[in-house]
Structure 1
Amino acid sequence: MNLTTLDPPIPLYTLEQDPILGSKLFSMSRFEGTVTHHSELLIPHRKDYYLLGFIRQGGGRHWVDMVPYEPKDQTFYFFAPQQITVKEEPLPTWGTAFAFTQEFLALQENTLLRTLPMIQNPENGHELALSEADVMFVEDLLDKIYSEYLTAGVWHQRMLSAYLQVLLTYLSRLYTEQFERKTFSAETQLLKKYQAEINKHFHQLHQVSDYASLLHVSAGYLSEVIKAQSSKSAITHIHDRLVLEARRLLFHSEQSLKEIAFGLGFSDASYFSRFFKRETQVTPAEYRAATRRMYQ
């Protein structure tokens, strides 16, 4: 497992100008035994865009937030912005991938996409198993999307958005079947909004009352709903997110403990160390040393 010492310590990649659309909002690629040679993918990195793809066959092992995945044939994979990913080696791949940015989701015709479980990803999933029927449906839609992607015209953008809505809605149904298996009540929606706000603000806001203000509810009501919906206290969700980010940085970067602590909104590095040990039973230094020994 390679470690990067770049500044910033973990590079953030943006969606490049698409040669077909002339846009930085959406891109699509097909792979027929293609080998990805981009060396930057072989070091830990983040993307500021969504990346989704159907792997028909091939692909090399990759890591998402310290979890290794062996690619499975006939499987759909999805990455969210800001996750730390790294490939172990470039291997031939057959399949189709597409990427889009937060700005793409903000377009009027795409606003409904933002509410779908596949996009919100409350369970922090990464792969969807597909049945034979699912594969036929997904491949047919991907063919339609790719054909529209290559077609210029007045209705191009709307057709592209319409096909994407059908595909991502279909995949969201699979997502809920495989990950959530819950009804979408008002309380469930509050949990999802709470998790989304934590993802946006965990570097600065560490108190439940801060998020209650953002969501326009009382701290007591928010705590009650979050506990009932997730079986975890509201403050635990905040702490879990801080620990996840701390683990990412301890494993993938060479930042000092003081730099990591300040970056996560702790005013004192020693307090951060006590917090991390309380949550994980090991100190940040012990965690960094142990995980690097394990994965080297």
Structure 2
Amino acid sequence: MNTLNAETVIPKYAFEEDVAIGNKMFKIVKSSHSVRYHKADMLVPHRKDYYFYVFVKQGNSRHWIDMTLYTLRPDTFYFSVPHQIHLKEEAKPFTGSAINFTEEFLAMEENGFLKQLPIIQNRHNGHELNLNSDDVVFIEDLVDKIHTEYNAKQNWQNSMLVAYMHVLLIYLSRLYTEQFTDGEQAPEKLLLKRYLARIEDDYKEIHDVAAYADMLNITAGHLSEVVKKQSGKTAMEHIHERLEWEAKRLLFHTDHSIKEIAFELGFEDASYFNRFFKRLAEQTPADYRKSTRHLYH
């Protein structure tokens, strides 16, 4: 199999036109409990040179955007801008709508207003928007209208799509501003971000919550309480999750032995690493490597 190393250029995927529709700047695709992915994309870091928006009705696949792991949640909106790094960890059935559009599509709107919206500029490198029940109703209705227009093939189609997207992008920008700007300096949110950043820096060497708490100059109990409240996961789960997914990446992308991977991730005992991995992934490292390479290659 091909493996990535430090010198490998991360592939950049261009916008894929729906030939049946013939639109080279915009595409919307609805899925109903199906798996939509390219095998070549799985576990491969890549970029998209277009905007990629997904309204999820049902689904729980996991993926990375830049250095953040996301698990899809029902009635949630996901977005990315060109050149953020994507990594699909696994593919599961998905129900919802995916909207892709290019810089050229945005340029159709007069005076460049759309390109200035917070959701488009994405200064905070966000990817996920939480929706309440009213948000879900509004967005679902608008996405349905966009899908109908996209498939109608009538005159001035792109102009109509821009008009619909104008409304959608303003609505999403309001949510973006609320969720990524207001209250972002709250101590609890800053603490969660600092904790996750510390894990990212030190997860190979440090597997203990108390050690991270010492680095942050707080007690382990306070750290655990805040992390659980803000993320829904325990502080230890974040450490284990990072180790598990890094192990999966190494098992898939490299030909390192299980022992070498265990030591690289800070496990002094390869047998303990095997038990750790099996408890989280429900299969041994060797079985995971075999099954994923067989599935995607």
Give the deviation of 1:37 after TM superposition. Answer: 3.9
State how 1:114-133 maps to structure 2 within 5 Å. Answer: 114-133=115-134
1:14 Cα deviation (Å)?
0.3
Partner of 2:145: helix, strand, or coil?
Answer: helix
State the Cα distance separating 1:18 from its structure 2 match.
1.9
Q: Does 1:61 align with 2:49?
A: no
TM-score, normalised by the number of residues in structure 1: 0.59
Pair 1:49-2:50 in alignment: yes
C-alpha spacing 1:89/1:293, structure 2 compared with 1 (3 Å):
same
Q: Which runs of 5+ in 2 are unaligned?
A: 184-248, 254-260, 267-276, 278-284, 286-297
- The residue type paired with residue 21 of structure 2 is L
Match of 1:173 in 2: 174
Seen in structure 2, the aligned counterparts of structure 1 residues 8 and 20 have a Cα distance that, compared at 3 Å, is farther
CA distance in structure 1 between the partners assigned to 2:144 and 2:114 by the alignment: 20
Residues 1:293 and 2:281 are matched in the alignment: no
Matched, 1:112 2:84: no
Classify the secondary structure of the residue corresponding to 1:128: strand
Instruction: Work out the CA distance in 2 between the residues paired with 1:85 and 1:36.
Output: 15
Asked if residue 145 in structure 1 is aligned to residue 146 in structure 2, the reply is yes
**Shift of the alpha carbon at 1:7?**
8.2
Does structure 1 retain, via aligned residues, the 8 Å contact 2:46–2:86? yes
Contact 1:61 1:89 in 2 (8 A): yes
Offset at residue 3 of structure 1 (A)? 5.4
| Partners of 2:36 and 2:128 in 1: CA distance | 20
Matched residue, 1:17: 17
Q: Identity of paired residues, percent?
A: 47
Cα drift, residue 177 of structure 1: 0.7
Contact 2:109 2:162 in 1 (8 A): no
CA contact (8 A) 2:56 2:75 kept: yes
Relative to structure 1, the CA distance from residue 94 to residue 141 in structure 2 (aligned partners, 3 Å threshold; closer, same or farther) is: same
Structure-2 separation of matches of 1:3 and 1:81 = 24
Between the aligned partners of 1:132 and 1:66, the Cα distance in structure 2 is: 30
User: Which letter does structure 1 place at the counterpart of 2:106?
Assistant: L
Q: Are 1:73 and 2:74 matched, yes or no?
A: yes
Distance 2:109 2:59 in 1: 36
Matched residue count: 192
Contact 1:3-1:44 within 8 A present in 2 as well: no
In the other structure, the counterpart of 1:159 is 160
- Does the Cα contact within 8 Å between 2:114 and 2:169 map onto a contact in 1? yes
